[in-house]
Structure 1
Amino acid sequence: MPLIRIFLLLLLCLNCCTYSAIGQSEPIPESRIRKLVQQAWEDYKDANFEKSLINSRVALNYATSSKNDYLIAKSYKIIAGNYSELSEFDKAIFFYNKALFYANKTNNDSIKYSLHNNLGNLYCFEKQQFDKGINYYKKSIAYSLKINDISQVYFTNVNIAWAYFDIGKFDEGYPYLKFVGNNIKKYGDESTEIVVNMLNGMYSNFKNDNAAANTYFKNAIAAGKDSDERSDLAYAHLEYSKFLTKTKRYKEAYDNLILYNQITEELYNQEKLKKASIAGFNLELDEYKRQIDKIESEKSSQYQSLKKSRIIVVLFVLISFILLFLLITLIKNIRYKKKLNVELLEAKEIAEEASLLKTQFISTISHELRTPLYGVVGITNMLLEEHKELSRSQHLSSLKFSARYLLSLVNDILQINKIEENKVVLENLTFNISDEITMIKNSLSFLSQKNNNQITIEIDHQIPEYLIGDKLRLAQILMNLVSNALKFTKDGEVEIIVKLSKVEEKFHFLDFLIKDNGVGIAIVDQGKIFEKFVQVGRKDEDYQGTGLGLSIVKRLLVLFGSTISLQSNIGEGTSFSFTIPFEHDPQKTKHIIDEIEVDLSSDDVYKILIVEDNIINQLVTRKIIEKHNYVCNVVDDGFGALKILENEQFDLILMDINMPLMNGFETTKRIRLQGIKTPIVALTAFDKDEITEEAISSGINDIIIKPFEPVKLFKIINYLIKEAKNAG
């Protein structure tokens, strides 16, 4: 009994203290919270982001305490808007989703419309995730119709049409543009006049109605000159330039492209000034985010405190020592789970950061390896060309093979990274299957001779002469499988068999079989050979590669919509088989060939400027250029290029990107600002996908990745020079 009385006294004291603490917290009037939210909104519209974030954070704190879901959603919406204006788009999306979570707890469809529309804008035009953005737009329209706000439906339809047109889905976007056209007099205003005319121009261009397209684009540009929407005017010039290029009005196309670059440069400079003015404030943004997260945490703590108080009341009534003990145990478990959740979140953040660092590291290391490899491959080729007596040298052949193997390794690592990030898109090229496989056989002759193997080819005569598909990815698949077979076969045979399995309309389904009579693969190992960096049956003296080849093969076949099958037994050899459909269309094949055909027989002597800081790469590139009877000048950096262009004219400029003092992008921009129209080709070790967007915006005409095949370089050089001369 004395023990029970002590517990009763403790529980009574704790219960009184808890209710006393709750009673001391006075509720904040809703009118005051609304006033704070309105002030934060006014500060946001006046671009006073710091003050807006402070007021919205205080409003969020009060709204959370009052459990007012609508005001919580409004506060998060304003916070997200501030981050969006400060170009912190990931944080903006985070807080818009927070706002949407609380908005969905209310019956206010107006704020739901606004939040879905804003998320659509961010995903479509900032994150370039169009499918996700368009989905948000469509939900936004549903809420607008629910509140019968057709004017908002009008503006959202403009955004959806633009998003579809940006990704080339004109037929899907046209119904939304048609709705806009039917309602433009009733709901249109100056803010959409530029965009609506531009979209009509894009659609007319798509439909090959050149007269209508020309009129719409001119109307868009005229409206833009009388408007403050400079960004929309820039896009109107850009789309008009594309249309003019298509209709072979190159001079006007170039003029509009210049106007686009000028307006974009002005907006870019304004954005830089804006960012510079808030540079000090940006350091506080993360702290504000932590404070907002703290509000959520405090809300959870208050809820847990209230829950604990109720449990204490129940325990006070029941007076059970056993239940009190269980309560203490439960509280400890909750704290442990909270701690575990925090650790999991931290681990997730570390993993995401590690993934980003991995991508950056792979990009950097591939560039750093390609640059010296360009020199090694180039100088090796020069030695073989200038000293014919060395053509049979095993040392030089080994050097050339090793350099190309190292380049292949770099490309494999980059390839697997691109596939994992869904950056690989299949291309449509015309090719002859027999020629492609013969070329693969010849390129692997060194490896086949090393292990005294024979490569035999069997191709079904029913397969058409020319097919359409991604021949480069197919070659990569076959190269990996055949080279793998050669490595694990000695004094044997590797067979490449291709048969036509079926024809559906224009598509011919080809069955590929790569078969060897080598060491074979144990059944226990067959399930894991397609994983990254996995090698089976490896001995220290063996040369087995990195374990990436089969992993790349499997992932590339997924892109083709195919799978790979394996049959193997120890000592009996291995067979890999898969099926890929390729298109057969003679008219389309002729069109593709006509597009890529370039005349290399010209006797004209062109003058080329090489901008390159690496001395070895200067030597290699210069030798390749001068070997084809071109006149060549070399400068070490961007400043040297600008200086020589003041006094001399060139037919084409080969521009390195990664240079000290001033990189290739900045150099190109300055060249274009001086009115120099000379074609510029980026000659770089960077991966093409990483720099294409920035290269185009800076004024670069094309990109070639080092090391490269000289024939490809001269095709591009001749094409660009002749195009420039015809435009002039």
Structure 2
Amino acid sequence: MTAYIKSLPLWLKYAFLISLITLLLSFSAGEIVRGYERNYLEDKVDRQLQSYFQTLSSTTLEDVLTEDVPHLETILEQATSHNPDLTYVLICNEAGVLLARSGQDPDDNNPLTAQYHRTIMFEGEIFGSMTLALSKERLLADISHHVDQIRFISAASLLLLGFFCYFLTHYLLLSPLNRINRRLLSVDELALPVNQEHLSELARLDKSVNVLQKVLTAQKEKERQLQLAKRHAEAANKSKTEFIATMSHEIRTPMNVILGSLDILKDESLSTTAKQFTTTAQNAARLLLNQLNDILDYSKLDANKVAVNNAVFSPVNTAENVIALFSEQAAEKGIELAFHSDQESQAHFIGDEGKITQVLTNLLGNAVKFTERGTISLSITSKKLQDSTTLSFTVEDSGIGIDKGKLTAILDPFVQSDPSFSRRYGGAGMGLAISHKLLAIMDGQLDINSSLGRGSSFSFRLTLQPADNTKDKSNCTPIVPTLQQQALPILLVEDSPSNQLIAKTLLAKYGFQVNTANNGLEAVQAMRSNQYALVLMDLQMPEMNGLDACSEIRKLTSAQKKVPIVAMTANVSDTDKRQCLSVGMDDFLTKPIDKNKMLQVICYWLGRNHQGTALYSQVS
């Protein structure tokens, strides 16, 4: 029975509860009204009897004194006929002798009759007595009628209130509760709605809570697995970063030797064939270095570790410098490189020249790579806005073009429009992906228009702030070391003999006096016994690395503390740069070493005469 009651629908239980409450409250209200009116009846009967007595005693006083019985009987008959509730009247003289009577003598134990007996007095003298009897039947019938009306009204009011509360509860509670139950039960794949129809709402809610608990438990397990997967992914990403850093260092170290050797060989007296092979090897080495840089750049972009470095620059000078990088390669293929710019774009602007240069280098490098003949043009146009200027850079070529169905795919890393291109033209297919991400960082977008066999057009727009009265830094006179700078001793700390040879040879060509140390420990000993004007420090070395060696050197005498120390390493990450500056290094050069940049850094620090605060120079 209990199970059957629990399985009843909630609305049926609610309706039964309302009916039961209505019945109890209406019955209770009727009984309360009945008791109240009974008390009111007793008071009313007493008041009526007193009123009848006063009226009759005043009317019959003279007849009682004269003992006029016929007249008394007439008065009593008229009184009982006009007052149906007055069922009995008895009048006696002062001696108790009956004078007149009307009606039937009532039973003393009859609860439906109220009796009233008083003496008839006038000016303090007793002339007789009067007995009255009043029937309560009509009054009790009125009370019962009132009670029934009260019960009906209260029951109707309570039922209306109950149904109103039911519909309100159904709208605000039961209906949403049913929807929640169905949705919760639908979460569980094993819960079939058909099997739940025989359950009450509360039973379904209880089952829904069980389902929710089950789902939450499964969700917690998934979150635990996701956290575990996240830790594995972070570990894998860390391993990837360490692998890229290690491979970068291991590749840059021999590349420094290769490019340095080829750079030195180009200045020697070689046969035409030897110069041709030297140039070919140098181009191949630079291509390999560019691909390595692309991998590192994309790794930084993928980790969101690239920031915009705004400074004053000339877009025209930047474009001309990029064109100069490919002029020799284009001339060898018989391709004409054209450059156009309008008047507004020849001004100076505030932007990230390095990233713009990298994007233009990637776009122009692709154009030269995939164009066999014809013309490649780079154009810059401008549109002046209220407080800024929008510059449009466009690279157009007459090369092989790209199929329209593959324009989106080529923006993905390691993807080219045709896999055979990587075998025919070379490259890892990362230039456009890197350019796309760099432009997104600068609030720009790469637009591509191309047709297979008809060439391509790559363009992007950047909104930049103009810069006034700015000197063009690109027209600076090439730095030439002075005789005083050439006389200052330099300590080269490098564990690789081949790298030592390349660096010493390049520095000797510019007249510098160079001593070497094979590791950080030898460098510290050399600084203790000799005075040097500059230290070129590798980082990864046996016995003692470059960071520890720099820290030890900075602990020496105050004069030696001011010796500029320049990192010269294949570690190229921002973390490596920050570590170098944190231990007291003054500048940072990356391998493979660019001889012009190395010359700028060396002349800059030797020209400071060992004065001033250690700063990271603009040329690094």
What TM-score do you get using the length of structure 1 for normalisation? 0.52
How far has the Cα of 1:439 moved from its partner? 2.9
How far has the Cα of 1:421 moved from its partner? 2.4
How far has the Cα of 1:607 moved from its partner? 1.1
Aligned partners of 1:586 and 1:498: how far apart in 2?
19
How far has the Cα of 1:523 moved from its partner? 2.1
C-alpha deviations, 1:324-360, integer Å up to 9, x for none?
A: xx99x96987776665444333323222221222222
How far has the Cα of 1:531 moved from its partner? 1.4
The residue type paired with residue 642 of structure 1 is: V
Aligned partners of 1:462 and 1:593: how far apart in 2?
19
Residue of structure 2 aligned with 1:519, choices 394, 400, 404: 400
User: Is contact 2:317–2:474 with CA below 8 Å preserved after alignment?
Assistant: no
Aligned partners of 2:272 and 2:538: how far apart in 1?
31
C-alpha deviations, 1:657-702, integer Å up to 9, x for none?
A: 1111101111111111112221111111111512232222211111
User: Is contact 2:312–2:349 with CA below 8 Å preserved after alignment?
Assistant: yes
Residue of structure 2 aligned with 1:679, choices 564, 585, 589: 564
Aligned partners of 2:379 and 2:405: how far apart in 1?
27
Going from structure 1 to structure 2, the CA distance change for 1:545 and 1:725 (only over 3 Å counts) comes to closer
User: Is contact 1:468–1:584 with CA below 8 Å preserved after alignment?
Assistant: yes
C-alpha deviations, 1:165-221, integer Å up to 9, x for none?
A: xxxxxxxxxxxxxxxxxxxxxxxxxxxxxxxxxxxxxxxxxxxxxxxxxxxxxxxxx
Aligned partners of 1:598 and 1:537: how far apart in 2?
43
User: Secondary structure of 1:545's partner?
Assistant: coil
Residue of structure 1 aligned with 2:338, choices 447, 451, 456: 456
Q: How does 1:140-289 map to 2 (within 5 A)?
A: none
User: Is contact 2:245–2:573 with CA below 8 Å preserved after alignment?
Assistant: no
Residue of structure 2 aligned with 1:400, choices 266, 278, 282: 282
How far has the Cα of 1:575 moved from its partner? 1.0
Aligned partners of 2:474 and 2:465: how far apart in 1?
15
The residue type paired with residue 582 of structure 2 is: S
The residue type paired with residue 230 of structure 2 is: K
Going from structure 1 to structure 2, the CA distance change for 1:566 and 1:399 (only over 3 Å counts) comes to same
Structure 2: gaps of 5 or more residues: 4-195, 614-620
User: Secondary structure of 2:382's partner?
Assistant: strand
How far has the Cα of 1:496 moved from its partner? 0.9
2:473 counterpart of 1:607: no
Aligned partners of 2:569 and 2:599: how far apart in 1?
16
Alignment match, 1:93: none
2:522 counterpart of 1:640: yes
User: Is contact 1:538–1:544 with CA below 8 Å preserved after alignment?
Assistant: no
User: Secondary structure of 1:539's partner?
Assistant: helix
Structure 1: gaps of 5 or more residues: 5-314
Aligned partners of 1:351 and 1:709: how far apart in 2?
37
The residue type paired with residue 685 of structure 1 is: A
2:576 counterpart of 1:707: no
Alignment match, 1:548: 430
Going from structure 1 to structure 2, the CA distance change for 1:612 and 1:451 (only over 3 Å counts) comes to same
Going from structure 1 to structure 2, the CA distance change for 1:597 and 1:359 (only over 3 Å counts) comes to farther
Going from structure 1 to structure 2, the CA distance change for 1:600 and 1:446 (only over 3 Å counts) comes to closer
Q: Which has the higher strand share?
A: 2
Aligned partners of 2:406 and 2:612: how far apart in 1?
61
344-353 vs 463-472, greater mean Cα deviation? 463-472
The residue type paired with residue 358 of structure 2 is: Q
335-344 vs 563-572, greater mean Cα deviation? 335-344
Going from structure 1 to structure 2, the CA distance change for 1:723 and 1:644 (only over 3 Å counts) comes to same
Aligned length: 412
User: Secondary structure of 1:654's partner?
Assistant: strand
Q: How does 1:495-506 map to 2 (within 5 A)?
A: 495-505=377-387
2:449 counterpart of 1:564: no
User: Is contact 1:390–1:396 with CA below 8 Å preserved after alignment?
Assistant: no
2:236 counterpart of 1:354: yes
The residue type paired with residue 407 of structure 2 is: Q
How far has the Cα of 1:646 moved from its partner? 2.5
Alignment match, 2:31: none
How far has the Cα of 1:495 moved from its partner? 1.5
Aligned partners of 2:360 and 2:287: how far apart in 1?
16
Going from structure 1 to structure 2, the CA distance change for 1:502 and 1:332 (only over 3 Å counts) comes to closer
* Rg larger for: 2
Aligned partners of 2:605 and 2:430: how far apart in 1?
37
How far has the Cα of 1:547 moved from its partner? 1.6
User: Secondary structure of 2:434's partner?
Assistant: helix
Going from structure 1 to structure 2, the CA distance change for 1:413 and 1:724 (only over 3 Å counts) comes to same
Going from structure 1 to structure 2, the CA distance change for 1:635 and 1:336 (only over 3 Å counts) comes to same
User: Is contact 1:384–1:390 with CA below 8 Å preserved after alignment?
Assistant: no
The residue type paired with residue 525 of structure 1 is: K
How far has the Cα of 1:653 moved from its partner? 0.7
Residue of structure 2 aligned with 1:627, choices 497, 506, 509: 509
2:418 counterpart of 1:528: no
Going from structure 1 to structure 2, the CA distance change for 1:679 and 1:598 (only over 3 Å counts) comes to farther
Aligned partners of 2:401 and 2:262: how far apart in 1?
36
Q: How does 1:253-332 map to 2 (within 5 A)?
A: none
User: Is contact 2:316–2:346 with CA below 8 Å preserved after alignment?
Assistant: no
C-alpha deviations, 1:555-612, integer Å up to 9, x for none?
A: 111222211111122222211111123444344547x789x99964522122111000
Aligned partners of 1:318 and 1:469: how far apart in 2?
70
Aligned partners of 1:632 and 1:341: how far apart in 2?
60
Aligned partners of 1:647 and 1:333: how far apart in 2?
73
How far has the Cα of 1:363 moved from its partner? 1.7
Alignment match, 2:457: 575
User: Secondary structure of 2:542's partner?
Assistant: coil
2:263 counterpart of 1:381: yes
User: Is contact 1:383–1:390 with CA below 8 Å preserved after alignment?
Assistant: no
Going from structure 1 to structure 2, the CA distance change for 1:398 and 1:358 (only over 3 Å counts) comes to same
How many percent of aligned residue pairs carry the same amino acid?
29
The residue type paired with residue 526 of structure 1 is: L
How far has the Cα of 1:384 moved from its partner? 1.1
Going from structure 1 to structure 2, the CA distance change for 1:598 and 1:376 (only over 3 Å counts) comes to closer
User: Is contact 1:430–1:589 with CA below 8 Å preserved after alignment?
Assistant: no
Aligned partners of 2:523 and 2:285: how far apart in 1?
31
The residue type paired with residue 571 of structure 1 is: G
Alignment match, 1:494: 376
Alignment match, 2:165: none
The residue type paired with residue 682 of structure 1 is: A
How far has the Cα of 1:707 moved from its partner? 1.7
How far has the Cα of 1:510 moved from its partner? 1.6
RCO comparison, higher one (Cα < 8 Å, 6+): 2
How far has the Cα of 1:503 moved from its partner? 4.7
C-alpha deviations, 1:121-150, integer Å up to 9, x for none?
A: xxxxxxxxxxxxxxxxxxxxxxxxxxxxxx
Going from structure 1 to structure 2, the CA distance change for 1:559 and 1:609 (only over 3 Å counts) comes to same
User: Secondary structure of 1:357's partner?
Assistant: helix
Alignment match, 1:663: 545
Aligned partners of 1:333 and 1:727: how far apart in 2?
66
How far has the Cα of 1:619 moved from its partner? 0.6
How far has the Cα of 1:382 moved from its partner? 0.9
What TM-score do you get using the length of structure 2 for normalisation? 0.60
Going from structure 1 to structure 2, the CA distance change for 1:638 and 1:726 (only over 3 Å counts) comes to closer
User: Secondary structure of 1:439's partner?
Assistant: helix
How far has the Cα of 1:391 moved from its partner? 7.7
Aligned partners of 1:563 and 1:457: how far apart in 2?
21
How far has the Cα of 1:452 moved from its partner? 4.2
The residue type paired with residue 588 of structure 2 is: I
Alignment match, 2:352: 470
User: Is contact 2:570–2:592 with CA below 8 Å preserved after alignment?
Assistant: yes
Aligned partners of 1:334 and 1:508: how far apart in 2?
55
Aligned partners of 1:341 and 1:427: how far apart in 2?
39
